[in-house]
Chain A
Amino acid sequence: MFAYILRRLWQMVPTLFGVMLLLFVLFNWVGGDPSYILAGKSFSADTLANIRHQLGLDQSLPQQFLIFVRQVLTLDFGISWSTQQPVAEILASRIGPSLTLALPMLLVSLLLSVIIAAIVAYVRGSLTDRIVTLICTLAMSVSALVYIIAGQYWLAHKLGWFPILGWSDSLATNLWYYIPLPLLLGLVVSLAPDIRFYRSCFIEEMGHDYVRTARAKGLSERTIMLKHVMRNALIPVVTSLMMSLPYLFLGALLLERFFGIPGMGNEVLNAVDRSDFPVIKAITIYVALATMLFNLLADIVYKLIDPRVQLK
């Protein structure tokens, strides 16, 4: 196990190098010379030369790449081009709001979708099953944008049940006052595909021989579903859940944008809007790192909950 983890960690090095290379190609080569953006309206040859020197743009491309590698290794991405704050400081202040929305959303969505999927899978083929499947198919066809626009308009503006948007400094106010509507809309968007996927997991497990054996032993349907089927059906569920964890750090991009939540997703959009390359680069590196680590974690958890799995 230990050797496996070490080997996997070692394999991350070339991948991280690749991500750095990709970002470097994108932002230093395709992106062009950013010093004109930075210089603003009144620039002279001196200011331009000064900025180019500060960013290291007057050095050769390999040297610039080395600067970027050093930034990644020390996790110090310099200062933001638009606000002049240190990038690390910006990101540290953004992660909290993102998690405040994304964590409860993940938990509630997981709980609801697993329960509904289990029920629907149990009564497979019945009218309830067909109606739920139909609703899921229809719900998945509507763009997430429409749910958010319509939800914000009807529930917050027209009916006044929720605040339209906003954020405060206290966690309790955020959770009770500002989070419920984005949470609800996020659920509406994520439930349908989740239920469909989990339902197929359950149905696949219910066709196995061990379920028939359990029935033959005279176990109650409840025990069969909760103790036998659930345990096995949850294996793919846990894996897909682990894979979705890196997205927690990215936050719910659209929801944060609509509801003015100052999280990572909002920061990415602002950075793209303002061509704030250091912030985009930093967030991409962090998210890539998180993705790789959680993929490894997913494989380990997979091994722990399913002893049949052999780690290679």
Chain B
Amino acid sequence: MTNHTPLLAADAACPASRSLWQLGWQRLRRDRIGLAALWVVAAFVLLALAGWLGLAGSHWRHEVAKPNTPPALFKHYGPATVELTAADIDAAQQHHTSTADASAATGMSAEDDPLAADMAAAQAAAAKTAPASTAVPPHDGSLVCGSDSRGRDVLQKVIQGTATSLLVGLSGALLAMLIGTVLGALSGYFGRRVDDLLMWFYSVFTSVPDMLLLLAFSAVMSRGIDTVIMVMALTSWTGTYRLMRAEFMKHKCREYVQAADAIGASHRSRMFRHILPNVTHLLLVQFSLLTVALIKYEAILSFLGFGVGVTQTSWGAMLAEAPAELLQGYWWQMAAVTLCMSLLVTAFSMLTDSLRDALDPKVQ
């Protein structure tokens, strides 16, 4: 213990040397665009966190307004909807319960129609329960982002969609990085046989285009968020693997690793305690690149119906409703999703660029 005191005294004399992370943070703080991007991404992550915890967007399944209500600011820009009151619906139902009307619709007399009795009973039952379901929705026409074709609040849906898409993007990227880093470390560090085997594995996965691989995986698996995350991780680890393999090959011959070997550090300790901290800054950049890519992939997968399940929503699932809505002139759901997604993707890409500059050890 006494040996340390003179060392500390010597340290105090010369200026404190800062780690790459401290330097990086300092550079990032000076980069105004990078900092702004960081704040936007942080805000999105907070929003997504609130979504996962059920603090925001948890009521997205509730039908709170009339179908396709335009956003509050653009009340007069949406297509005119026919306002149906409860009285109209009641009148229409009474009209339909008469058997004469039913026979006109089917072209058969009541005696010939085998379903006539059942239909009349069903309509009577429906008429009885109808008043309860036509209760006036709470806030009508005051929704910031309008409502979708089922009267659900688009704002709530977008928040929930952000939560889902970010969850898929972040955890898919995290898992992919984990696979890629471990395999890349093994491959680059041990080389020879291990490297041959893992390179074979890598070449198998890269010989099939990403999208096709994603589709092949989702063809045999069920729908749902956990499946999407797993499929994404299993198909997108290759980039990280290649990067980490090259880095570990480069670092394993460096003097500090030889020194670690000399003091008797095990292979695992050399790989993950000595080399890994020296390449984490590359992993961070790779992580944000991968997150953006996966968010885009998730949107496409969910749009095609191979992504999140039908009881969940995400940006892709919301965009899947857009073509049909657009045809009727209901543009707000698509606009909300596009705005949200572009903002996040732009901020993430700018953050990636800034991170790359800030964490580059060569820049002084």
Contacts and interface: CB of A to CB of B under 8 A. Distances in A.
Q: Do A and B come from one complex?
A: yes
A175 B89 CA distance: 51
A187 interface: no
Interface centre among B209, B316, B349 (most CB of A within 10 A): B209
B278 interface: no
A21 B205 CA distance: 11
Contacts of A277: 219
B346 A15 contact: no
A34 to B, nearest CB: 10
A153 B331 CA distance: 11
Interface in A208-230: none
A295 to B, nearest CB: 8
B346 A138 contact: yes
B341 interface: yes
A146 B212 contact: no
B334 A149 contact: yes
Interface in A124-145: 137-138, 140-145
B327 interface: yes
A260 interface: no
A235 interface: no
Q: Which size class do A's interface residues fall under?
A: 35 or more
Interface string B194-210: 00000011011111110
Contact of B204 (A22, A149, A152): A22
Interface in B325-348: 326-327, 334, 338, 341-343, 345-346
Interface in B204-228: 204-209, 211-213, 215-221
Interface string A20-31: 011100110011
Contacts of B319: 143, 145-146, 149
Given A18-B203, A149-B322, A250 B211 contact: yes
Given A14-B200, A143-B296, A30 B323 contact: no
A254 B316 CA distance: 13
A140 B349 contact: yes
A18 to B, nearest CB: 3
A34 B347 CA distance: 45
A137 B304 contact: no
Interface centre among B203, B213, B316 (most CB of A within 10 A): B203
A145 B207 contact: no
A145 B346 contact: no
A19 B209 contact: no
A32 B222 CA distance: 12
Given A19-B207, A257-B304, A284-B216, A153 B342 contact: no
Contacts of B221: 30
B300 interface: yes
A145 B300 contact: yes
Given A26-B219, A27-B220, 16 more contacts: A15-B207, A30-B221, A138-B346, A140-B345, A141-B343, A142-B338, A143-B296, A143-B315, A143-B342, A145-B299, A145-B316, A149-B319, A268-B212, A269-B304, A277-B219, A284-B216
* 8 nearest A-B residue pairs (beta carbon): A18-B204, A31-B220, A141-B346, A141-B345, A141-B342, A272-B219, A288-B207, A15-B203
